[in-house]
Amino acid sequence: MSATITIRCATSDHTVATVWLGSSLAVHRPIIDGKTSNLPKDWAISHLASGMAACRRFSGSKSAAVALARVWDASFAAIPASGSLNGWPHSSQWLNDLAIAQNGTSQPAGPVKRSPMDELQAATTPAQVQTAVARAMGYDPMDDDEVLQQFEIEPDFIPAPDRVPYNGAVQRKPSGSLWLYWMPQGANYRATFDDLVGWYQVPLMAEIEEWCLGDTACTPCDDDVEPDHPDSWLRILGMI
């Protein structure tokens, strides 16, 4: 009897029978409009931890789909239950192998570990560039829970009727969120200084990560500046 798995579809979850089951991937018939497809050369490859599709429609023989899943099974273990590909270095290789396996022109190469420089040269999106830079720096990307947290900074200001906030003061609101009092320091804000002074929500770790790996950073009023600008969040938070 075939093993079954639960996959996530657009409207609901479905239980499907597998024709091959690995530790991270499974090959099965795709679900089309809520029904199991019986079309020839019509398969799907799903990621077990997330229930999401690694390949929603694989157009090829069952043996080709199984061979592809077998080669890539171990690599997909690095993808979390959320299905996030953040930090996974093999996205472009996986897409290339998918095309190769369905065309039948050659055998899939499987995940090939490339040097950060090779990845940087092959990058076509900002996210891929950041991933290559992070690898070159030996940086381990944050997980999905960490990126949604605010940058942790110790609150040092308790609001009171007779207290005047100062530049860099940090308070924690009743909701639990952290806010920082900003008084622009850069000469470019002289004309708008009075309008900009005030409390600003401390950025998320996802934003900090992006700025640290990118070419620019943001100010509290969301202007793009050099990371070492006096009003860059990276300077304000003491990271530069």
Q: Where are the domains of the chain?
A: 4-110, 145-236
| Euclidean distance between CA atoms 80 and 232, whole angstroms | 32
| Euclidean distance between CA atoms 7 and 15, whole angstroms | 6
Burial of 231 (0-12, 13-18, 19+ CB in 10 A): buried
| Euclidean distance between CA atoms 119 and 125, whole angstroms | 11
Would you state the structure tokens that stand for residue 179, as one six-digit string?
Answer: 């806010």
For 93-158, strand residue ranges (E) read none
DSSP-based three-state secondary structure for 196: helix
Show pLDDT as tens, one digit a residue, over the chain (240 residues).
Answer: 579 999 998 788 999 999 999 999 999 999 998 899 999 999 999 999 999 999 999 999 999 999 999 999 999 999 999 998 887 888 888 998 999 999 887 788 888 766 666 666 666 676 666 666 666 666 666 667 787 899 999 999 999 998 999 999 999 999 999 999 999 999 999 999 999 999 999 999 989 988 987 789 999 999 999 999 999 999 999 988
Angle between helices 91-103 and 62-72 (to 10 degrees): 160
DSSP-based three-state secondary structure for 182: strand
**Residues 153 and 179: beta-carbon distance below 8 Å:** no
Cβ contacts of 145 within 8 Å, gap of 6 or more: none
